[in-house]
Chain A
Amino acid sequence: MAKPVLMFDSLSCCEGCGLQVLNCETDLLPILEKADIGRFREASDGDVDHYNVAFVEGSIVTPHDIERIQEIRAKTDLLVALGACATHGGVNFLKNFQDPDDVAKYVYGDKRAWFPHVAARPLKAEVRVDAEIPGCPINPREFLEAATCLLTGKPFKLPNYPVCVPCKLADNVCLWHKGAACLGVVTRAGCDPYLCPSAGHKCIGCRGLVDKPNTQAAKDVMAEFGLTVDDILREFRLFQGIYKEVAQEA
């Protein structure tokens, strides 16, 4: 049986997710035995015509990005979005809350016409995506799990519960009780054991919302803790601007 061909590439992003793949260290070696790497520009030379699985990090922010993701889609059987940029638009989505011309003007001044950009968006806005590994950056553990699933044809499923579950399992005192508006209550789990509350910082929501979050309760409770709508939106927009609930208010 021919080995499956994997490919790694990136659109607009910090390439931290690709680095997290390398950070799987020796756990990568068995996977490299089972599969060929068709392309991994950050780590290797070369390219091939067809991939079985393409892992793509980064958001779409330019017309050129759209072309590139379409090219990749055409060459691959399966497309996996790696990381918040690719799954939810990531921090790039922040610019969508500002006037696009003003954004370009602020950065490029009178030369802004040279640099076309489109509203930031995740891969699934332009092409079919077969699986998503959220997080900024991705969790190497989840990458390995997804990779073994894909290599064995098992569907890869994300946890459908909020960060509070692993947070409590890590024996953490809830940060709300320490005065921090942690977004873990409505954010999809899966980052453990590297979750932010375990490192003392509130969850900033990089993995997107869990299915059916109780946004009503979130508003009530956050208001009780003295947060204004502005504060709350600012918190959520860092990573979750893509959601209707977050985008619409204001």
Chain B
Amino acid sequence: MLPQVLKKGDLGAWIEALGKTWKVAAPVLKETSVSDRTDAKFGWEWVVDPAEVRLDYTVTVLGPKKFLWPSRQTVLAYALAGEPNPQAVIEHEPQVLLGVHPCDITAIATLDAAFGKDVPDPHYLARRKDTAIVGLDCAAPCDESCFCLDMGSLHPESGYDIMLTPHRDRYFVEVKTDLGQQLLAGARLQPATKQDMQGRQAFTEEQRGNFHYQLPCEVKYLPEILDASYDSLVWEAIARRCFSCGSCNTVCPTCYCWDVADQIAVDLTKGCRVRRYDSCQLDPFAEVAGGENFRKDRSSRLRHRMFRKGKYILEQTGRAGCVGCGRCERACIAGISIKETFVQIAGSR
């Protein structure tokens, strides 16, 4: 297919058109929170008015993961009076995630692998199957917390249907899949001119100039480096400040551990089973009856998180459990940084 561009001014009309078939989620400016002196003023929301969509966004607290993996999901419904008749609850509707940064695209691919491997989880996968992803390339790192280049997530090869590359007043549109082609039906695309092609090239060069490696080693060596650090005192030292508040897990785009709870309706005739985010940093996470807790020290929990991100998930799925988005560091009051931790253990070897 011939290269095409979309004028930024035509974005709204395209979103409007998408909205007829799909539910569209995109980054928007959050409602005014007056004492907000930080930069994280954007959030992923369902689009009500296309004019609200802000593709100039940088970071968000939660990523688009929440539309694929909501923090609370009912997975099972049953009756409490008479025959229980338990039924799976699998909810999904056609949705477009518009403006997904490369790190989040990569993170979604990790989730796909985690939920798709071995015993597939249709609750996640049905949503995933019904989801179209419109990527948005980054010309520069969002802030100093992110290290996506190191984690190999700046240039995802797949996992999106369309990739938008912003350049001046237009987006260079790369169509990756048939679904991507369908999405564009209502867009006022224009064939890319020679100038546009040059602009695309300029973007790549600009990007190359803006992103720098920050880890002293390649990701593929992380498992080994982590292994060697298992008994290091580093964990103890870092964990002294950890609150075990779970913020890091909650905001991470690749975290998917969960807890379940059965709920009884107020009229006592129905019940359901809800799963919700859990966090390996919370004290009761690995506790079993009798009070035995297999990771009762903060340091062992913190180590577990870092290992999961840098080693276990990588070994299980072939994809790193961390995409370098920097969310965990940004969310942590104690200032615990996964990037710094990796740097520290790589250096201390």
Question: A: which residues have CB within 8 A of B?
Answer: 27, 30-31, 33-34, 144-145, 147-149, 151-152, 154, 160-162, 164-165, 167-169, 171-180, 184-186, 200, 211-214, 216-218, 220-221
Q: Are the C-beta atoms of A211 and B283 separated by less than 8 Å?
A: yes
With A154-B264, A161-B246, A218-B243 given, is the CB distance from A169 to B283 under 8 Å?
no
Give CA–CA (A165, B262) in the complex, Å: 20
**Majority DSSP secondary structure for residues of A touching B:** helix
Shortest Cβ distance from B279 into A: residue? A165
B43 contact set on A, CB distance < 8 A:
171
Q: Which residues of B contact A (CB under 8 A)?
A: 30, 33-38, 40-41, 43-44, 60-62, 71, 240-247, 250-251, 263-268, 277, 279, 282-284, 298, 330-331, 333-334
- Contact among A160, A168, A186 with B62 in the assembled complex (CB-CB below 8 Å): A168
* B247 A31 Cβ-Cβ under 8 A: no
Q: Least Cβ distance of A31 to chain B in Å? A: 6
A168 touching B264 by the CB < 8 A rule?
A: no
Q: Please give the distance in Å from A113's CB to the nearest CB on chain B.
A: 47
Q: Which 7 residue pairs of A and B lie closest in terms of their CB atoms, listed nearest first?
A: A164-B245, A168-B250, A30-B267, A173-B40, A169-B71, A176-B333, A148-B264
Judging by beta carbons under 8 Å apart, are A31 and B266 in contact?
Answer: yes
With contacts A161-B282, A174-B247, A180-B35 taken as known, whether A151 is within 8 angstroms of B333 at the C-beta atoms is no
Q: Are B250 and A178 in contact (CB under 8 A)?
A: no
Residues of chain A within 8 A (CB-CB) of B71 are: 169
CB distance B333 to A148 under 8 Å? no
Q: Offer 9 A-B interface pairs, CB within 8 angstroms, sorted by A.
A: A27-B266, A149-B264, A151-B268, A152-B264, A165-B246, A168-B246, A178-B37, A214-B242, A220-B240
Partner of A162, one of B40, B241, B245: B245
Question: Once the chains bind, are B277 and A174 in contact (CB under 8 Å)?
Answer: no
Tell me if B's interface is mostly helix, strand, loop or mixed.
loop
Provide the residues of chain A in CB contact with B279, threshold 8 Å.
161, 165
Q: Name the residue on B nearest A168 (C-beta).
A: B250
A167 to B246, CA, bound (A): 11
Q: Which of B33, B240, B264, B282 contacts A216 (CB 8 A)?
A: B240
The answer to whether A220 touches B241 (Cβ under 8 A) is yes
B246 contacts A144, CB within 8 Å?
A: no
* Residue in chain B with minimal CB distance to A161: B282
A164 to B298, CA, bound (A): 17
Residues B268 and A178 in contact, CB atoms below 8 Å apart: no
Question: Given A165-B250, A173-B38, A178-B38: A214 and B244 within 8 A (CB)?
Answer: yes
In this complex, what residue of B is CB-closest to A145? B263
Question: Chain B residues near A220 (CB, 8 Å)?
Answer: 240-241
CA distance A30 to B265 in the complex (A): 10
Contact of B247 among A147, A165, A171, A186 (CB under 8 A): A165
B37 touches A179 (CB 8 A): yes
A148 touches B61 (CB 8 A): no
State whether A177 touches B38 (Cβ < 8 A). Answer: yes
Of listed A33, A147, A211, A217, residue having the most chain B CB within 10 A = A217
User: A167 → chain B, closest Cβ, in Å?
Assistant: 8
Alpha-carbon distance between A155 and B35 when the two chains are bound, in angstroms: 41
Please determine whether A160 and B283 come into contact, CB atoms closer than 8 angstroms: yes
Given known contacts A171-B62, A173-B40, is B243 in contact with A185 (CB within 8 Å)?
A: yes
Contact A34/B247 with A160-B284, A169-B62, A221-B334 known, Cβ cut-off 8 Å? no
Question: Closest residue of chain B to A224, judged by CB?
Answer: B335
Contacts A161-B282, A171-B61, A173-B38 given; indicate if A221 touches B266 (C-beta within 8 A). Answer: no
How far, in angstroms, from A213 to B245 measured CA to CA in the complex?
9
Shortest beta-carbon distance, A195 to chain B, in Å? 13
Complex: chain B residue closest to A34, CB-CB = B268
Flag if A160 contacts B282 (CB, 8 Å).
yes
Q: Nearest Cβ distance between residue B25 and chain A, in whole angstroms?
A: 12
A199 nearest in chain B by CB position: B33
A217: which of B34, B37, B243 is its contact (CB, 8 Å)? B243
Cα–Cα, bound, A165→B71 (Å): 10
